[in-house]
Amino acid sequence: MTAASARRFWLVKTEPDAFSFDDLMASPDRTTCWDGVRNYQARNTMRDDMKRGDLVLFYHSSTEPAAIVGVAEVAREAYPDHTAFDEKDPHFDPKSRRDAPTWMMVDLRAVERLARPVTLAELRGVPGLEKMVLLQKGSRLSVQPVSASEWAIVCRLGGVPVE
């Protein structure tokens, strides 16, 4: 593997009431499309940077406690988000066109549940995570990069082998 094609690491946020890690684990082949992202920066990350085989921290937000609960991987690279074209879907976007889609999605496959959830409060006090995007004031992106060192720290905290 060359440096340009080296595996990268990401974090995706989801509200467990909408779609949880349990839902991902229960999906056929433990895989689902990661649809409904309606932020241009997050879209660009999925479209331009997320590659098949990249690893993903699965974060439950808007819950108590908010926590990283699992590991997934990118199973399919970016392709048009079909929900943007479905008038009955809450993520419908009348400006998105099939011949020039505005919104993209990737497929994620569950790899494993963390042995224990790593809470947001816990992450805030861990040396080496000071620059983690998740912990930055005002960080609201639903798809964000994670450095290799941050990945290793979180995996150790969660009790899973470091890739």
86-141 residue pLDDT tens: 889 788 887 888 888 999 999 999 999 999 999 999 999 999 999 999 999 888 88
Distances (CA, A) of 35 to 55, 72, 111, 138: 17, 15, 19, 23
Instruction: State phi, psi for 145 to the nearest 5 degrees.
Output: -75, 155
Mean pLDDT for the chain overall? 93
* Max intra-chain CA distance, the chain: 47
The answer to whether residue 159 scores a pLDDT higher than 80 is yes
> pTM, whole model, 2 decimals?
0.92
pLDDT of residue 1: 39
pLDDT digits (tens, 9 = 90+) for 33-44: 999 899 999 999
pLDDT of residue 3: 46
**Residue 124: predicted pLDDT:** 95
